Amino acid sequence: MSKDYSVSDIFEMVSDMFRNNPFLRGIKVSGEISQFNVWNGLHIYLGIKDAQSELKATAFNFREKGIDPRQFKMGDKVVLYGDLSVNKKGSQITLNVLRIEKAGISEFYQKFLQMKQKLEAEGLFDASKKKALPKYAKNFGIVTAKDGAALQDILRNAKDRNPYVKPYLYPAKVQGEGAALSIAKGIKALDALGLDFIIVGRGGGSPEELWAFNEEIVARAIAEAKTPIISAVGHEVDFSISDFVADVRAATPTHAAVIGIYEYSFLEAEIGNRQLELSALMKKKLTDSKNRVEKRKIALSAVSPVNVLKHKKEILNNYRERLGYRIQGKIKKAYDCDEMLKKDLQQCMKQKLQKKHHILDVLITRMAEANPVKKLKSGYARISKGDDKVVSINQVEKDDKLILDLLDGSIETLVIGKEEKTYG
CATH number at residue 228: 3.40.50.2300
Do 381 and 365 sit in the same domain of this protein? no
In a domain, 116, yes or no: no
Do 322 and 396 sit in the same domain of this protein? no
Do 326 and 399 sit in the same domain of this protein? no
In a domain, 362, yes or no: yes
Do 340 and 400 sit in the same domain of this protein? no
Q: For helices 216-224 and 106-121, what crossing angle results, to 10°?
A: 30
Contact 118, 144 (CB under 8 A): no
Q: Which of 253, 242, 196 is nearest to 220 (CA)?
A: 242
Q: Chain-centre distance of CA 202, in angstroms?
A: 45
Do 191 and 166 sit in the same domain of this protein? yes
Contact 32, 76 (CB under 8 A): yes
In a domain, 405, yes or no: yes
Do 135 and 254 sit in the same domain of this protein? yes
Do 364 and 388 sit in the same domain of this protein? no
Do 364 and 406 sit in the same domain of this protein? no
CA distance 315 to 308: 10
Q: What is the pLDDT along the chain (424 residues), one digit of tens a residue?
A: 467 777 777 777 777 777 777 777 888 898 888 888 998 888 999 999 888 888 999 999 988 888 888 888 887 888 898 888 887 665 688 889 998 887 754 456 678 888 999 999 999 999 999 999 998 999 999 999 999 899 999 999 999 999 999 999 999 999 989 999 999 999 999 999 999 999 999 988 877 788 999 999 999 999 999 999 999 998 876 788 999 999 999 989 999 999 999 888 766 667 777 887 887 888 888 888 888 888 887 777 766 677 777 777 788 788 788 877 787 877 777 777 777 877 877 788 888 888 888 888 888 777 766 667 667 677 778 888 888 888 788 888 888 888 888 878 888 888 888 888 776 5
Looking at residue 17, what is its pLDDT? Answer: 77
Q: Which domain holds residue 201?
A: 127-262
In a domain, 227, yes or no: yes
Do 246 and 157 sit in the same domain of this protein? yes
Looking at residue 277, what is its pLDDT? Answer: 82
Q: Chain-centre distance of CA 382, in angstroms?
A: 103
CA distance 73 to 37: 9
Contact 171, 143 (CB under 8 A): no
Neighbours of 102 (CB within 10 A): 16
DSSP string, 82-151: EEEEEETTTTEEEEEEEEEEETT-HHHHHHHHHHHHHHHHTTTT-GGGPPPPPSS-SEEEEEE-TTSHHH
Do 242 and 309 sit in the same domain of this protein? no
Q: Which of 104, 135, 160 is the last residue of a domain?
A: 104
In a domain, 95, yes or no: yes
CATH number at residue 42: 2.40.50.140
10 Å CB burial of residue 186 (0-12, 13-18, 19+) is buried
In a domain, 267, yes or no: no
Domain count, the chain: 4
List, in order, residues 6 or more apart from 62 with CB less than 8 Å away.
38, 42, 43, 44, 69
Do 45 and 156 sit in the same domain of this protein? no
The pTM for the full model equals 0.47
The half-sphere exposure of 392 on its side-chain side, counting CA atoms within 13 A, is: 3
DSSP string, 274-306: HHHHHHHHHHHHHHHHHHHHHHHHHHHHHT-HH
In a domain, 273, yes or no: no
Do 71 and 151 sit in the same domain of this protein? no
Q: Which of 72, 104, 136 is the last residue of a domain?
A: 104
DSSP string, 251-269: SSHHHHHHHHS--HHHHHH
In a domain, 292, yes or no: no
